[in-house]
Chains A and B, each alone.
Chain A
Protein backbone atom coordinates (compact mmCIF):
# COMPACT_ATOMS: atom_id res chain seq x y z
CA UNK A 1 0.00 0.00 0.00
CA UNK A 2 1.29 3.44 -0.97
CA UNK A 3 1.74 5.44 2.18
CA UNK A 4 3.66 7.89 4.30
CA UNK A 5 4.53 6.46 7.70
CA UNK A 6 5.30 8.63 10.70
CA UNK A 7 6.53 7.49 14.08
CA UNK A 8 5.68 7.88 16.82
CA UNK A 9 1.99 8.83 16.69
CA UNK A 10 2.10 10.35 20.15
CA UNK A 11 5.05 11.67 22.11
CA UNK A 12 5.35 13.46 25.44
CA UNK A 13 8.78 14.78 26.28
CA UNK A 14 10.50 17.28 28.53
CA UNK A 15 12.03 20.60 27.59
CA UNK A 16 15.51 20.26 26.17
CA UNK A 17 15.52 16.52 25.51
CA UNK A 18 16.47 15.87 21.90
CA UNK A 19 13.98 13.90 19.85
CA UNK A 20 13.49 12.66 16.32
CA UNK A 21 10.23 12.06 14.49
CA UNK A 22 10.67 9.67 11.60
CA UNK A 23 8.95 9.84 8.23
CA UNK A 24 9.18 7.24 5.50
CA UNK A 25 7.42 6.92 2.14
CA UNK A 26 7.24 3.95 -0.22
CA UNK A 27 6.17 5.77 -3.40
CA UNK A 28 9.61 6.82 -4.67
CA UNK A 29 8.58 10.45 -4.27
CA UNK A 30 11.22 13.11 -4.82
CA UNK A 31 9.57 15.79 -2.72
CA UNK A 32 9.01 15.55 1.04
CA UNK A 33 7.89 18.13 3.55
CA UNK A 34 7.11 18.67 7.23
CA UNK A 35 4.20 20.70 8.53
CA UNK A 36 2.95 21.64 11.95
CA UNK A 37 -0.74 22.16 12.64
CA UNK A 38 -1.92 24.53 15.35
CA UNK A 39 -5.50 25.64 16.15
CA UNK A 40 -6.47 28.72 14.18
CA UNK A 41 -3.24 28.72 12.18
CA UNK A 42 -3.81 25.83 9.81
CA UNK A 43 -0.77 23.94 8.57
CA UNK A 44 2.54 25.72 8.31
CA UNK A 45 5.53 24.33 6.50
CA UNK A 46 8.65 23.70 8.57
CA UNK A 47 11.14 22.26 6.06
CA UNK A 48 11.00 20.64 2.68
CA UNK A 49 13.26 18.56 0.49
CA UNK A 50 13.25 18.46 -3.30
CA UNK A 51 15.43 15.33 -3.41
CA UNK A 52 18.23 13.48 -1.64
CA UNK A 53 20.64 15.87 0.08
CA UNK A 54 18.52 18.88 -0.95
CA UNK A 55 16.63 20.57 1.87
CA UNK A 56 15.33 24.07 2.46
CA UNK A 57 13.52 26.10 5.09
CA UNK A 58 9.79 26.53 5.06
CA UNK A 59 7.84 29.20 6.87
CA UNK A 60 8.58 28.17 10.48
CA UNK A 61 11.99 26.42 10.59
CA UNK A 62 13.30 27.78 13.91
CA UNK A 63 14.09 25.05 16.40
CA UNK A 64 13.97 22.22 13.85
CA UNK A 65 16.45 20.29 11.74
CA UNK A 66 15.98 17.79 8.94
CA UNK A 67 18.10 15.52 6.81
CA UNK A 68 17.52 13.63 3.56
CA UNK A 69 20.19 10.98 3.22
CA UNK A 70 17.88 8.51 1.50
CA UNK A 71 15.01 9.16 -0.86
CA UNK A 72 12.43 7.40 1.27
CA UNK A 73 13.26 8.94 4.67
CA UNK A 74 12.94 12.50 5.95
CA UNK A 75 13.34 12.69 9.75
CA UNK A 76 12.45 15.79 11.74
CA UNK A 77 14.85 16.58 14.58
CA UNK A 78 14.20 18.79 17.57
CA UNK A 79 17.59 19.36 19.19
CA UNK A 80 16.22 21.15 22.26
CA UNK A 81 12.43 21.03 22.31
CA UNK A 82 10.49 23.81 23.99
CA UNK A 83 6.82 24.01 25.03
CA UNK A 84 5.98 26.21 22.03
CA UNK A 85 6.81 23.24 19.81
CA UNK A 86 3.86 21.36 21.25
CA UNK A 87 1.84 20.69 18.12
CA UNK A 88 0.52 18.16 15.63
CA UNK A 89 3.11 17.36 12.99
CA UNK A 90 2.54 15.98 9.51
CA UNK A 91 4.93 14.64 6.95
CA UNK A 92 3.94 14.77 3.28
CA UNK A 93 5.42 13.59 0.01
CA UNK A 94 4.79 13.96 -3.69
CA UNK A 95 6.31 13.39 -7.08
CA UNK A 96 8.51 16.17 -8.39
CA UNK A 97 5.64 17.69 -10.31
CA UNK A 98 3.55 18.06 -7.19
CA UNK A 99 1.21 20.50 -8.82
CA UNK A 100 -0.41 17.74 -10.82
CA UNK A 101 -0.21 14.85 -8.43
CA UNK A 102 -1.00 16.38 -5.06
CA UNK A 103 0.53 15.33 -1.81
CA UNK A 104 0.22 12.23 0.36
CA UNK A 105 0.18 12.86 4.09
CA UNK A 106 1.16 10.74 7.03
CA UNK A 107 -1.21 10.16 9.93
CA UNK A 108 0.45 12.76 12.12
CA UNK A 109 2.54 12.91 15.28
CA UNK A 110 1.10 14.66 18.30
CA UNK A 111 3.98 16.09 20.30
CA UNK A 112 3.68 17.52 23.79
CA UNK A 113 6.67 19.26 25.35
CA UNK A 114 6.39 19.89 29.10
Chain B
Protein backbone atom coordinates (compact mmCIF):
# COMPACT_ATOMS: atom_id res chain seq x y z
CA UNK B 1 0.00 0.00 0.00
CA UNK B 2 1.12 3.54 -0.67
CA UNK B 3 0.53 6.63 1.40
CA UNK B 4 1.82 10.13 1.94
CA UNK B 5 1.84 12.26 5.06
CA UNK B 6 2.00 16.02 4.90
CA UNK B 7 3.12 17.61 8.14
CA UNK B 8 1.31 20.83 8.88
CA UNK B 9 -2.11 21.60 7.46
CA UNK B 10 -1.31 25.33 7.50
CA UNK B 11 2.01 27.06 6.97
CA UNK B 12 2.47 30.82 7.15
CA UNK B 13 5.57 32.62 5.88
CA UNK B 14 6.52 36.21 5.22
CA UNK B 15 7.01 37.39 1.69
CA UNK B 16 10.65 36.78 0.75
CA UNK B 17 11.13 34.02 3.32
CA UNK B 18 11.96 30.39 2.65
CA UNK B 19 9.04 28.08 1.94
CA UNK B 20 9.30 24.50 3.24
CA UNK B 21 6.38 22.12 2.90
CA UNK B 22 6.95 18.64 4.24
CA UNK B 23 5.95 15.33 2.69
CA UNK B 24 6.84 11.81 3.78
CA UNK B 25 5.82 8.77 1.80
CA UNK B 26 5.35 5.09 2.29
CA UNK B 27 5.62 2.74 -0.66
CA UNK B 28 6.45 -0.92 -1.14
CA UNK B 29 7.98 -0.19 -4.55
CA UNK B 30 10.25 2.61 -5.74
CA UNK B 31 7.89 5.57 -5.70
CA UNK B 32 6.99 8.16 -8.24
CA UNK B 33 6.17 11.36 -6.35
CA UNK B 34 4.33 14.51 -7.28
CA UNK B 35 3.53 17.92 -5.90
CA UNK B 36 0.35 19.60 -7.04
CA UNK B 37 -0.82 23.15 -6.34
CA UNK B 38 -4.42 24.30 -6.07
CA UNK B 39 -5.16 27.99 -6.26
CA UNK B 40 -8.48 29.22 -4.84
CA UNK B 41 -11.47 28.02 -6.86
CA UNK B 42 -9.29 26.19 -9.34
CA UNK B 43 -8.30 22.64 -10.16
CA UNK B 44 -4.98 20.97 -9.45
CA UNK B 45 -1.89 21.92 -11.38
CA UNK B 46 1.24 19.79 -11.51
CA UNK B 47 4.11 21.60 -9.83
CA UNK B 48 6.84 18.98 -10.20
CA UNK B 49 7.42 15.25 -10.25
CA UNK B 50 10.08 12.74 -9.24
CA UNK B 51 10.44 9.77 -11.54
CA UNK B 52 13.84 8.43 -10.41
CA UNK B 53 15.90 10.38 -12.95
CA UNK B 54 17.35 12.90 -10.47
CA UNK B 55 16.83 13.34 -6.75
CA UNK B 56 16.58 17.14 -6.93
CA UNK B 57 13.61 18.10 -9.04
CA UNK B 58 12.88 21.59 -10.26
CA UNK B 59 9.34 22.67 -10.97
CA UNK B 60 7.40 25.69 -12.04
CA UNK B 61 7.32 29.04 -10.27
CA UNK B 62 10.73 28.52 -8.62
CA UNK B 63 9.74 25.50 -6.55
CA UNK B 64 11.94 22.43 -6.14
CA UNK B 65 11.84 19.21 -4.17
CA UNK B 66 14.46 16.71 -3.10
CA UNK B 67 13.84 12.98 -2.95
CA UNK B 68 15.57 11.43 0.07
CA UNK B 69 15.14 7.69 0.15
CA UNK B 70 16.81 7.27 3.54
CA UNK B 71 14.30 9.67 5.08
CA UNK B 72 11.35 8.64 2.84
CA UNK B 73 10.79 12.33 2.23
CA UNK B 74 9.99 14.60 -0.68
CA UNK B 75 9.85 18.09 0.82
CA UNK B 76 8.92 21.08 -1.32
CA UNK B 77 10.96 24.27 -1.06
CA UNK B 78 11.18 27.72 -2.55
CA UNK B 79 13.93 30.15 -1.54
CA UNK B 80 11.79 33.28 -1.51
CA UNK B 81 8.02 33.29 -1.08
CA UNK B 82 5.79 35.53 -3.14
CA UNK B 83 2.25 36.60 -2.41
CA UNK B 84 1.11 34.70 -5.49
CA UNK B 85 2.32 31.43 -3.92
CA UNK B 86 -0.60 31.43 -1.49
CA UNK B 87 -2.46 28.22 -2.32
CA UNK B 88 -3.00 24.68 -1.15
CA UNK B 89 -0.27 22.18 -1.94
CA UNK B 90 -0.71 18.45 -2.23
CA UNK B 91 1.93 15.74 -2.22
CA UNK B 92 1.01 12.51 -4.03
CA UNK B 93 2.50 9.09 -4.72
CA UNK B 94 1.81 7.06 -7.85
CA UNK B 95 0.79 4.58 -9.44
CA UNK B 96 -2.80 4.91 -8.15
CA UNK B 97 -2.03 8.52 -7.24
CA UNK B 98 -2.68 8.70 -3.52
CA UNK B 99 -2.77 12.20 -2.08
CA UNK B 100 -1.79 13.68 1.22
CA UNK B 101 -4.25 15.83 3.13
CA UNK B 102 -2.76 19.06 1.83
CA UNK B 103 -0.94 22.08 3.25
CA UNK B 104 -2.39 25.54 2.92
CA UNK B 105 0.35 28.11 2.41
CA UNK B 106 -0.28 31.65 3.58
CA UNK B 107 2.11 34.43 2.59
CA UNK B 108 2.09 37.63 4.61
CA UNK B 109 3.63 41.02 4.00
Which A residues fall within an 8 A CB radius of B? 33, 35, 40-45, 48, 58, 90, 92, 98-100, 102-103, 105-108
Contact = CB atoms under 8 A, between A and B. Distances in A.
Contacts of B95: 98-99
B81 to A, nearest CB: 22
19 contacts: A35-B99, A40-B9, A41-B101, A42-B100, A43-B90, A45-B96, A45-B97, A45-B98, A92-B97, A98-B95, A99-B51, A99-B94, A99-B95, A100-B32, A100-B51, A102-B34, A103-B34, A105-B44, A107-B43
B42 interface: yes
Contacts of B49: 102
Given A42-B90, A42-B102, A102-B34, A107 B42 contact: yes
A26 B45 CA distance: 17
Interface of B: 6, 9, 32, 34, 36, 42-46, 49, 51, 90, 94-102
Contacts of B36: 105
Nearest to A42: B101
DSSP majority for the B interface? Answer: strand
A41 B102 CA distance: 8
A98 B94 contact: yes
Contact of A40 (B43, B44, B101): B101
Top 8 A-B pairs, shortest CB-CB distance: A42-B101, A99-B32, A43-B99, A105-B44, A107-B43, A105-B43, A42-B99, A99-B94
Nearest to B98: A45
Contacts of A35: 99
B51 to A, nearest CB: 5
B5 to A, nearest CB: 11
Contacts of A92: 44, 97
